Amino acid sequence: MPAKKVLITGAAGGIGSYLVHNLPAVQYDLVLADIRQPDYEPSQPFIELDIANLDQFTAACEGVDTVVHLAADPRTTAPWESLLPANVIGVYNAFEAARRAGCKRVIYASSINASSGYPVDVQIRTDMPTHPGNLYGATKVWGEAVAQVYADHHNVSCLCLRFGWVGSRDDADKLTTQRALSIYITFEDIQRLIVACIDAPDDLKFGIFHGLSDNLYKRMDLTDTCAILGYEPQDDAFELSKQFSD
């Protein structure tokens, strides 16, 4: 069986860079895209892509099986002038370009901020209404809604991943509060989750899934993520943090 062709947008960012260096080449034929050149020298095809340009995005999707859409303005305090092209227009373009190019699946990087407006002592479930904690989170809710439309009406499998606070295993030790540790996900577990989405059955047409490590306390419930995707997180931010590991 030939390797699945996977387009990674935001390939110069933190998550994208980690995936580029760690996804097994025998399983996935990667195509990388970003608006800026990465800090590393890519061995895979690289496309300089403005995600706000639909024609560019459609061309990047040609021949691709799965789009992993990571590109965004990740700042929770980003102004609307930046959120509009990156997190609204760019997200629509991701799904529309995938549809036009005949891609089978889009994996959309949503965020815990889509529901971070709930009180901190409430564990968020995927069946709860969205409750964005900021305008950035509201754009992630928009992306999830667009994903639902394309799954329902355009036969594109659309899987949305609400990532928590993303970082390395070493960086977990820099967090000073249990609240921060409860929303943490390591790069290693992000890769496990994205691989689970890429390899999920073709008949999985839509889903919103929480993305955290196997933390002692989890701000977001992982039941659906583990049961439906077969996600098996290996890290626990509380154990990785020397302050709370005892």
Vertex 23: Cα angle to 64 and 160 (nearest 5): 60
The confidence score (pLDDT) of residue 241 equals 92
The confidence score (pLDDT) of residue 170 equals 92
The residue ranges of DSSP E strands in 51-149, in sequence order, are 66-69, 105-111
Q: In the chain, what are the helix, strand and coil shares in percent, each to the nearest 5?
A: 40, 20, 40
List of the chain residues with pLDDT < 70:
1, 244-246
Residue 86's nearest CA partner among 111, 52, 56, 114 is: 52
What residue ranges define each of the domains in the chain, with the CATH number in brackets?
4-240 (3.40.50.720)
The confidence score (pLDDT) of residue 246 equals 53
* pTM for the whole structure: 0.96
Helix (H, G, I), strand (E, B) or coil at 60: helix
In whole angstroms, what is the distance from residue 204 CA to residue 229 CA?
9
